[in-house]
């Protein structure tokens, strides 16, 4: 089980920056609106987000459940994979097995 900050959604740095910036903007709006309690709360969330997403962040490991290997995707197809015999003659146009 992963922690919320280890969710694959937060892997791109831009998303982590956007979450922290949104909290900072929210704090500014609350301070401008003369609501210091909510401004401090939003500022505390921004500080926690900065610590979580930038100082203490390690990207989640890719597991088999998030990215399927190419071999397993090929084995799931309805057609069986057939390796052609390299020594077998290749039929050209007009070649067929009919005897005349």
Provide the residue range defining the domain that includes 26: 11-59
pLDDT for position 90:
63
Give the helix/strand (H/E) hosting 14: helix 13-32
**Rounded to whole angstroms, how far apart are CA atoms 9 and 6?**
8
Number of domains in the chain: 1
Is 79 part of any domain?
no
> Tokens 């987000």 belong to which residue?
49
Distance from C-alpha of 27 to C-alpha of 40, rounded to nearest angstrom: 7
Asked if residue 3 is part of any domain, the answer here is no
Per-residue pLDDT of the chain (100 residues; tens, 9 = 90+): 457 777 888 888 899 999 999 999 999 999 999 999 999 999 999 999 999 888 887 777 765 555 555 555 555 556 656 666 666 666 666 666 666 5
Residue with tokens 């090929």: 74
Residue 23 lies in a domain: yes
Torsion of the alpha carbons at 16, 56, 9 and 15, rounded to the nearest 10? 10
From CA 2, how far away is CA 62, in angstroms rounded?
Answer: 12
71 located within any domain: no
Q: What is the pTM of this model?
A: 0.56
């Amino acid at each position: 089980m992963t922690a919320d900050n280890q969710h694959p959604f937060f892997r791109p740095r831009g998303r982590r920056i956007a979450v922290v910036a949104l909290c900072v903007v929210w704090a500014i709006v609350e301070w401008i609106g003369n609501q210091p309690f909510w401004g401090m709360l939003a500022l505390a969330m921004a500080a926690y987000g900065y610590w979580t997403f930038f100082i203490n962040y390690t990207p989640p490991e890719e597991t088999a459940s998030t990215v399927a290997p190419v071999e397993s995707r090929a084995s799931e197809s309805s057609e069986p994979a057939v390796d052609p015999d390299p020594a077998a003659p290749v039929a050209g146009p007009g070649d067929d097995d009919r005897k005349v």
